[in-house]
Structure 1
Amino acid sequence: MRKTIVALRLTRLLGILSLVLVTAAVTLHAEESYPLHPDSQTQSGVPEGRVESFHFANSSVFPGTERDYFVYVPAQYDAAKPAALMVFQDGGGYINRKGNWRVPVVFDNLIHKGEMPVTIAVMVNPGVVPGGDGAQSRFNRSYEYDSVSDRYATFLIDELLPVVKQKYNITDDPNLRGIGGSSSGAIAAFGVAWHRPDQFRRVFSTVGTYVGLRGGNEYPTLVRKTEPKPLRVFLQDGRNDLDIYAGSWWNANQTMLSALQWAGYQVKNEWGDGGHNGKHGGAIMPDAMRWLWQDADKPIEVTIDEHPELKDRLIPGETWELVSEGHRYTEGPAVAPDGSVFFIDGPAAEIWKVNADGKGASKLVDGVSGVSGLMFDAKGNLYAARNKERKISRITPEGTQTVIATDVGCNDLVVLEDGIYFTDPLKPAVWYLPHGGEPTVVASGDAGSFPGKPNGIAVTPDKRFLVVVDATGRYVWSYRIEQSGKLSFGQPYYYVHQPQDELNTGADGVTMAKDGSLLVATSLGVQVFDQPGRVHVIIDRPSSQGRLSNCVFGGPDGMTLYVTCGTRVFRRNTRIEGFAPWQESVVPAKPHL
């Protein structure tokens, strides 16, 4: 009982203490002051909402944590109608009607004026794991808020909000859901919307911690490279914000703003001269809310029409289309010389062909066990990497099957005029099988000098360099193909972005574009590299469910991107022209270095 009481007191104090840290002056400009906005003051004739307090101590995402949270319910709330939602981190600092933020007062006034919808505010404190017996507790604030992962979003969406919704009727429409915070609470708010735009689309960020505490400095880069999300973001910061070991908050917020503007987001900013506190943010909060919720009845839209990197690669308005579903696990897509696309259902030992109209698929071959990769040659022969069976099979257009190699690991393969390259993740090695010959190892090595687990494999359009995915590392390797078929000068060449909470990138299958761009299926999406090995674009995953295992270009013009994702196959029309190894060699133009 004593531990519970101590934990309850700690969690109730933590939200207030967190905001005290945010609002305490930490620079020579501690005397800064801002006039109180009229909409931050109680006004006669405006009905007042109520604030209710709760405790939450049943998290699987953050086990052992306890926290208080507070719910503001506007006077206009009607339980028969779903209310809009606004979530604030460091919740204890937002409930005070006399503090910096004054959420109840601001919301009372704006809702009364019709300048924001009837909105329930959930103000939640960060978690604490009680130490007990006089020991120091574990304070989760930075761990939960500053981490560039979807962990906090998962806690909020899957654990806390379902409990809140048992008591209040809150909308599921992401367009009517906003989230905000200050300092680390701000980056947490952005992170929730970034990872889950299907749940939140309006972000209020003040003195945001987009610096190198736990990788937050990576957000501006991801904003520029990732296919834009339907978000509206308000940023505030002051010139005298923190400048410490993790970086400069002032510079980081400007970098964040420029990234959002460059990528075409709906973004507004207010810069001041203040420090790391809530004074300026609190003063402008009514106007920020007014902008954030304007046109709330209209969906937040995003376009790539002017995006510098996407407009020449993707087609505005085109999204992923479902091709086939209901499989056990899809992978290994391959394109035939006529542009048709084939894929594997590995656990079912089946090879499928996408229908000519791109809608649906038909089973072509069954009983081919252990298949993990497919590739065609120029004559229409289909080669199957049967990794579990330690075989490579060739299937003619007439359906005749022949085993052409045995007792070799083979996860994925590339078929060229003179022979076949394939990856062996267990040895680990890259093998070369001359047509009619015996397989030999042409690349191997220890970790650091060779991929730890070679997986996807592709050849450049000039057929001079072979690229090999390392499924356990963050690089795709590049090797020069010699006349003898041997490989030389291997380098960890392509730098792959990875999720914050994973030890590797989830990189798997790859495909090439005619201009020398490499496309890699990863946990974050399809990453598009230039010839020098740099990611320019991360194309959204078609679904958050299932492993994004592979990709290939197909269709009559070779510009439709097909991906295998979990139990399904998707396609998307693009402006990128793909390259298949059975095509004639093409020398890409020299890249911009």
Structure 2
Amino acid sequence: MRRLVDRLRYLGPAAGFLSLLRLTAAAWAGDAPKGEVMKHRFETSRIFPGTVRDYWVYVPSQYDPARPACLYVNQDGIQYDAPAVFDRLIAEKAMPVTIGVFVMPGRVEAPSPGALDRFNRSYEYDGLGDGYARFLLEELLPVVETLRTADGRPIRLSKDGNDRAIGGSSSGAACAFTAAWERPDSFRRVFSAIGTYVGLRGANAYPTLVRKVEPKPLRIFLQDGSNDLNIFGGDWWMANQEMERALAFAGYEVHHAWGAGGHDHRHADVVFPDAMRWLWKDWPAPVKAGAGSPQLQAILIPGEDWQLVGDGYRFTEGPAVTAAGEVFFNDPGAGKSYRIGPDGEPAVFLEDSSGADGQAFGPDGRLVSALAKTGQVVARDVSGSQPPRILAEGFPPNDLVVRHDGGVYVTSPAADPREPGKVWYIGPSGGKRVVDSGLRFPNGVTLSPDQSLLYVADTRSHWVYSYQVQPDGGLAHKQKYFHLHAPDTADDAGADGLRADREGRVYVATRMGIQVCDQAGRVNAIIPTPNGKVSNLTFGGPAFDVLHATCGDRVYRRRVRARGANAYDAPIKPAPPRL
């Protein structure tokens, strides 16, 4: 009882009298069937090489291997008296039959006596990216499924993310959120206690990303106290509140328990049973994604998701659209070009495209292509009635955009990464000249809807540059204008293809998905693609409201509210940007 009274000090105003009754009942009741807890050691990780770690597996007495069990994973081993809580909640049918896997962080054992072990906790838990999720999904959980209980029952885990929860405290909480954020197909319910959403290894970026990235189907319970840490890495109490506000803004299912505690488990111990009840409420009904920010809602249509156009390519690039909305794209590695027919199916357009990469249609209806293999920019009649015409040659072209008057801007990265890349201009009547030099890797290129500005992506940075287009096709007033997000696992945004819509927004193919920038140069929204890759994009369909994305070996499409601005059309003036 003394332990119970001590815990109640940390409830805070949000816990309520109902929690008090549940805690009192749990303190005295001991009639719930007890599950089995097994301890094991794992020491064969390839993702975190050289590490060893202990882990425990809890199996409820109600578990029947004929039906794969739900799963809860917890970092830092067994916390919150979780096996006893699960015994009670499963008996009450307040949560499904759930196997718990409680994992310690890895350590690299010292090679000689007297030397110190190296602990991998911050590296594994505080960093962004999918490394820890892959460790669980590819390494540890398959081993768990080779185990048997004392009475011989084999462990079988559901692979459905809706049947899986993950949690932890402090860095372990940030790790849990990261695993679900990266792999919502595998984890959709998150318990976060005193979460480390601060600047240790990048988790301070989450409140911003949560607001901008298309929402994922996640349900999150947050706990923290007003006396949590405030140190060099940040303010835990403020960071957790910022996370809650960001999640609510983006439409996530989020619940919280704020108290007056510090950086310890006492408040989490108290709220954990109710958190589990809330996380598993209405199971097996699926956890749904929220509507997202107003900026995302202005672009995306509810119920309209990505659809596969084609797959099996080496590497897709250069999507371009005709005045009728028909989309063409290239597979430079295979040397082929494709055309997406009225039935939505891709068919070979050119068996030998000479390594065509970026391309765009001009005002005369001809397809202008950058041929990496021959170092030429050519224009061709897609009906095949005329031979291709060489517009320029003598430099390695990469991507291009064609103005409404037939002028062409072409990006040309240098073969030697130590040399600056160039932007070329080919006039409507011919002739080429360099109009900019100095970008690390000039890549995607497009024009603003009114064609007063040229935008060029620098792949080896996190910038898209803006230039003012001059009457003679020259460029002036170069600026690092669009500030992109880069993933924690890379040193640059990897910006590639660019397109603008009729509202003046700029869509950038990046390592994190399609980043959508407003006219002021700010990323308003991030739209991931299904396979996590994207090199280029265009707006197709008769109304130019179907976003087509080239994504490595696949091409996807998605109907959206936005309508593309085609550079071959007469310039249009979008509404001025909002401040």
When normalised by structure 1's length, the TM-score is 0.90
- After superposition, give the CA deviation of every residue in 1:167-198 in whole Å (9 maximum; x if it has no partner): 21010111010000001100000000000000
| SS of match in other structure, 1:504 | coil
The CA deviation string for residues 79-100 of structure 1, in whole angstroms up to 9 with x for no partner, is 2210000000001x42xxxxxx
Aligned to 2:378: 393
Equivalent residues of 1:475, 1:493 under 8 A apart: yes
**Equivalent position of 1:158 in the other structure:** 138
Q: Deviations over 1:215-274 (max 9, x none)?
A: 111001000000000000000000111111111111000000000000000110010011
Alignment of structure 1 residues 2-151 onto 2, 5 Å: 37-38=23-24, 40-41=26-27, 43-91=29-77, 93-94=78-79, 101-133=80-112, 134-151=114-131
CA contact (8 A) 2:400 2:409 kept: yes
The answer on whether the counterparts of 1:37 and 1:284 sit within 8 Å (CA) in structure 2 is no
3-state SS, counterpart of residue 68 of structure 1: strand
Partner of 1:586: 572
Cα drift, residue 418 of structure 1: 4.6
Which one of 461, 469, 472 corresponds to residue 449 of structure 2?
461
Q: Secondary structure at the match of 2:377?
A: strand
Q: Is contact 2:354-2:372 (8 Å) kept?
A: no
Shift of residue 438 of structure 1?
2.2
* Match of residue 427 from structure 2: 434
Matches of 2:342 and 2:370 in 1, distance apart? 25
> What is the distance in 2 between the residues matched to 1:85 and 1:30?
27
State which of 426, 436, 443 in structure 2 corresponds to 1:443.
Answer: 436
Deviation at 1:346, TM superposition (A): 1.1
**Could you tell me whether the CA contact under 8 Å between 1:42 and 1:105 is conserved in 2?**
no
Between 571-580 and 481-490, the greater mean CA deviation after superposition: 481-490
Give the direction of change, closer, same or farther, for the CA distance of 1:31–1:303 in structure 2 (3 Å limit).
closer
What residue in structure 2 maps to residue 240 of structure 1? Answer: 227
Quote how far apart the aligned CAs of 1:388 are.
3.4
The verdict on how the C-alpha distance between 1:459 and 1:481 changes in structure 2, with shifts beyond 3 A counting, is same
Letter in 2 for 1:385: A
In 1, the alpha carbon distance for the partners of 2:107 and 2:421 equals 44
Asked if structure 2 preserves the Cα contact closer than 8 Å seen for 1:39 and 1:106, the reply is: no
**C-alpha distance 392-495 of structure 1, shift in aligned 2 (>3 A):** same
Shift of 1:50: 1.1
* C-alpha separation in 1, matches of 2:423 and 2:25: 67
Per mean C-alpha deviation after superposition, the further-off stretch among 33-42 and 105-114 is 33-42
Match of 2:239 among 242, 252, 258: 252
Cα shift at 1:437: 2.5
Report what 1:205 is aligned to. 192
Counterparts of 1:31 and 1:165, CA distance in 2: 38
Q: Give the Å deviation of 1:307.
A: 3.7
For 1:361, the equivalent position in structure 2 comes to: 346
Q: Which residue of 1 aligns with 2:329?
A: 343
Query: In the alignment, residue 290 of structure 1 is paired with which amino acid?
Result: R
Cα 1:253–1:303 change in 2 (3 A) is closer
Q: CA deviation at 1:32?
A: 5.1
Would the alpha carbon gap of residues 332 and 413 (structure 1) be closer, same or farther in structure 2, given more than 3 Å must change?
A: same
Quote the offset at 1:136 in angstroms.
1.9
Counterpart residue identity of residue 160, structure 1: L
Cα deviation per residue 1:268-321 (whole Å; 9 max; x = unaligned)?
A: 0010011111000101111111111111111111242x7422222110010001
Structure 1 vs Structure 2 CA RMSD? 1.7
Instruction: In structure 2, list runs of 5 or more residues that go unmatched.
Output: 1-5, 12-19, 148-154, 415-419
Q: Are 1:297 and 2:277 counterparts?
A: no
Distance in 1, Cα, partners of 2:484 & 2:183: 22
Q: Which whole-Å CA distance do the structure 1 matches of 2:26 and 2:60 have between them?
A: 15
- 1:182 counterpart = 2:169: yes
C-alpha contact (below 8 Å) 1:41/1:105 kept by paired residues:
no
Aligned to 1:191: 178
Residue 33 (structure 1) shift: 5.2
Q: Distance in 2 between matches of 1:204 and 1:38?
A: 23
* CA displacement at 1:387 relative to structure 2: 2.2
Give the match for residue 319 of structure 1: 305
Q: Residue type of the partner of 2:314? A: R
Q: Percent identity?
A: 47
Matched, 1:510 2:498: yes
Cα deviation, residue 41, structure 1: 3.8
CA contact (8 A) 2:250 2:290 kept: no
TM-superposition CA deviations, 1:399-448 (whole Å, max 9, x none):
22122222111100011215211001115100111133321111002xxx
Matched to 1:373, the amino acid is G
**CA drift at 1:40:** 4.8
Q: Which residue of 2 aligns with 1:22?
A: none
CA distance in 1, matches of 2:228, 2:378: 63
Query: Deviation of residue 328 (structure 1)?
Result: 2.1
Q: CA deviation at 1:498?
A: 1.2
| Partner SS, residue 458 of structure 1 | strand
The residue matched to 1:301 in structure 2 has which SS?
Answer: coil
1:485 is matched with which residue?
A: 473
Q: 1:217 aligns to what SS in structure 2?
A: helix
Contact 1:225 1:538 in 2 (8 A): yes
- Return the offset for 1:340: 0.6
Please point out which of 531, 536, 560 is paired with 1:550: 536
SS of 1:372's equivalent? strand
In the alignment, the residues of structure 1 paired with residue 30 and residue 194 of structure 2 have an alpha-carbon distance, to the nearest angstrom, of 32
Q: Does structure 2 conserve the Cα–Cα contact (< 8 Å) formed by 1:477 and 1:491?
A: yes
Aligned residue for 2:268, secondary structure, equals helix
Query: In structure 1, what is the Cα distance between the partners aligned to 2:339 and 2:104?
Result: 52
CA offset at residue 111 of structure 1?
0.4
Contact 1:472 1:505 in 2 (8 A): yes
CA contact (8 A) 1:468 1:478 kept: yes
Task: State whether residues 184 and 216 of structure 2, in contact with CA within 8 Å, keep that contact through their aligned partners in structure 1.
Answer: yes
Equivalent residue, structure 2, for 1:310: 296
State the match for 1:222 in structure 2: 209
Q: Find the aligned partners of 1:496 and 1:198 in 2 and give their Cα distance.
A: 26
- The whole-number CA distance in structure 2 between the counterparts of 1:565 and 1:137 is 43
Residue type at the aligned position of 1:141:
R
Structure-2 separation of matches of 1:130 and 1:42:
42
Residue aligned with 1:219, SS: helix
Partner-residue secondary structure (3-state), 2:51 = coil
Amino acid in structure 1 at the alignment position of 2:431:
E
Aligned-residue offset at 1:532: 0.8
How far 1:390 sits from its partner (Å)? 1.1
User: Shift in Å at residue 39 of structure 1?
Assistant: 6.2
- SS of residue paired to 1:575: coil
3-state SS of the aligned residue for 2:175? helix
CA distance in 2, matches of 1:491, 1:526: 21
Task: Give the Cα–Cα distance (whole angstroms) in 2 for the partners of residues 30 and 488 of structure 1.
Answer: 66
